[in-house]
Amino acid sequence: MYLVEHFYSLQGEGRFVGTPSLFFRFGLCNFECRGFGENGCDSNYAVDPKYKNEWQKIANLADLLNIYKSYNLRSSDDVVITGGEPLLYRDDEIFVQFLEFVRSKNHRITIETNASLLVDFEKFSIYRDVVFAMGVKLSNSLEQKRINKDAINTIVANTKKSFFKFSVVPSLEAKSEIEELRSEFRDTLIFCMAVCETKEELEANSASVVQFCLDNGYSYSDRLHIRLWSDKRGV
């Protein structure tokens, strides 16, 4: 299990935008998403194995607990597990024990995931207390096997407040793909946000996404961290 970085900042996307949060970014992903540019991902440094020499290999639970304790968090702060694709480690004993520890400290936990991997809620009950930010990939990602409805249904059926967030280039195709999911998961909140890596790209693309949301009844998500710090890492 690899940890790429950790930092304290504001949640920049989705349901809890603006919430003070401690982020743990884990390495590796099961997707490439070449449709999002040459590097395929706005956190490619957490995806491409060529960066492994910069990542911290997690050998035991204490590695993560020591990082957590160094921040002196308030119980009102969120803890966000992101990547890469953190659910690659969903069955790892250290990963599960860390989630259990964080929850015992009364933090709300969000796991940011592409929602393509099945979670065993029966074996690992801690996941019932997690909010899943399901960044399901649309066809603009150029990812072929991007939607796993069984995995999504398992998350929706076993958790509260989990939600969809889509990186959108407004189009009829995007609307059709989102509507297909909305028809099956009617009670799950949908956020749409602009595809961007920099503040300039966000400002150029956000207006069309806002209109896309207004036209179709979706919630708009800004990308606050990009608006404030552009493509700076660790924020």
> What are the tens digits of pLDDT across the range 121-170?
999 999 999 999 999 998 877 667 789 999 999 999 999 999 999 999 99
What is the chain's pLDDT, residue by residue, as a tens digit (235 residues)? Answer: 999 999 999 999 999 999 999 999 999 998 876 656 555 576 889 998 899 999 999 999 999 999 999 999 999 999 999 999 999 999 999 999 999 999 999 999 999 999 999 999 999 999 999 999 999 998 877 667 789 999 999 999 999 999 999 999 999 999 999 999 999 999 999 999 999 999 999 999 999 999 999 999 999 999 999 999 999 998 8
CATH class of this structure's domain 2-167: alpha beta
pLDDT of res. 158: 98
Beta bridge partners of 133: 112, 163
Query: Does the model's pTM come out above 0.75?
Result: yes
Cα–Cα dist 3/19, whole Å = 22
pLDDT of res. 91: 98
Tokens of 51: 């960066």
- The sheet carrying 190-194 orders its strands as 56-57, 2-10, 20-26, 78-82, 109-113, 130-134, 163-168, 190-194, 219-220
pLDDT of res. 139: 85
DSSP 106: T
Cα–Cα dist 115/147, whole Å = 8
Q: In the chain, where does DSSP find H-type helix? A: 61-69, 93-104, 149-158, 172-184, 199-216, 224-229
